Structures are given as structure tokens and as C-alpha cells.
A = this chain, B = another copy of it.
Amino acid sequence: MSAPNPARRNERTRRAILDATLALLAETGYADLTIGAIAARAGAGRQTIYRWWGGKGAIVLDALVDAVEVTGMTLADSGDLAADLRLVLRATVAEFADPRISETTRAITIETLIDADLAGQVRDRLLRPQLDAVKDRLRAGQRAGQVRDDLNLDLAVELLFGPLYHRWLLRTGPLTERYADGLVDLAVAAMRPAH
């Protein structure tokens, strides 16, 4: 019998901790989430958690980065810009419909409003990869003549995600696939080359 692989065991423990965090957030909310409860649910030691993470906010961010599979994210290029963007916005709507992800995102949003350092990490690790993936797709759209050459791409990606985030955070209306599709249609109309 070979010795257990410490790297694999560490990865299993890490996964168990992140899963426990998401589950507890959905059950009890961020305010009542404790390191002790995460440790108990994950079958891990509190010391392990304290060694690997600075605090509650940092664990929750890692859980979220994991859950939305943001690392190395790219968009498909089917040649149909609106169709490709619909997939992304529908996926985001679906994530917000998942109470584990929705509650976790609310929790992390609160933390970022309080903690500027964590805010920077959320922006760079969670948000930027998603915005950059969409920007890459829009750049391909520019090359294909579907998107105005002079379009400000930072502004354009916010035109897609800003309204959705606004509606979710402030609960001003339902978040449905139909909403996602309508938003994409409007944004694509805004990006189209003048003719």
C-alpha cells in the first residue's frame, strides 16, 4: 500500500471546507456563519482553516470563485454574438436563482462594502475574469464587423452585467431567462456598427 498523497488529501479537505461554507451560508446566512461551524460540517480542524484563510470573507470568496467556475473562463464564439451573450447572461441568471450562490454573493457584497482589501480581491479574482471573457468575445465581434470599432469595451461589458446586478441586488424585478435575453438584445443593438 502506498502512502497517502498529502496534496490530494489537502485538496479534498479544501473542497470539503468550501462545500461546507456554501451549504451553511444557504442555511444560516453570512452573519451567523462561524469558522467553528464550517470546521464541524467539513470534518476539518479549525486550525487548518485559520492556517489556510485569513477569515470568513476570504473563505467565502474562494467558495464563490470555485462555485461559478470563473478561472480560465472563455466564451464560445458561434459566430452569432447575441446567441453567445445570451448563454452567459442566462448562466448568470441561473446562478442567482441558486440560493447557495445568491446568498453567498450577497454576503460577499456586504463584506466588500466594509473591507476595501477584500473588495479588490473580489473584483480581481471573481469579477474581472468574467468581464474579461466577455470583452474577448466582443473583440472578436469587432473583428467580424458585428461590433462597432470605436466601442468602449469596459463600458460595453457593464451594459450587460450592470443592469442584471442592479436588479438582483435591489430586487427591482424578476430575474428570468426572458429578462436576460431582452437585456442582450438591447446591449447588442447598442454595440452594432452604424450603417
Contact = CB atoms under 8 A, between A and B. Distances in A.
Q: Is the interface of A mostly helix, strand, loop or mixed?
A: helix
A162 B167 contact: yes
Interface of A: 31, 106, 109-110, 112-114, 119, 122-123, 127, 131, 152, 154-156, 158-159, 161-167, 169-173, 179, 182-183, 186-187, 189-192
A124 to B, nearest CB: 10
Contacts of A31: 114
A107 to B, nearest CB: 8
A68 to B, nearest CB: 15
Contact of A166 (B162, B182, B183, B189): B162
Contacts of A156: 186
A138 to B, nearest CB: 12
Contacts of A106: 113
A133 to B, nearest CB: 15
A179 B113 CA distance: 22
Contacts of A155: 163, 179, 182-183, 186
A82 to B, nearest CB: 13
27 contacts: A31-B114, A109-B113, A110-B113, A110-B114, A112-B170, A123-B170, A123-B171, A127-B170, A154-B172, A154-B173, A155-B182, A155-B183, A158-B166, A158-B167, A159-B159, A159-B183, A159-B186, A161-B166, A162-B162, A162-B165, A163-B163, A165-B165, A165-B166, A166-B166, A169-B169, A187-B190, A189-B192
Nearest to A179: B155
Contacts of A161: 166
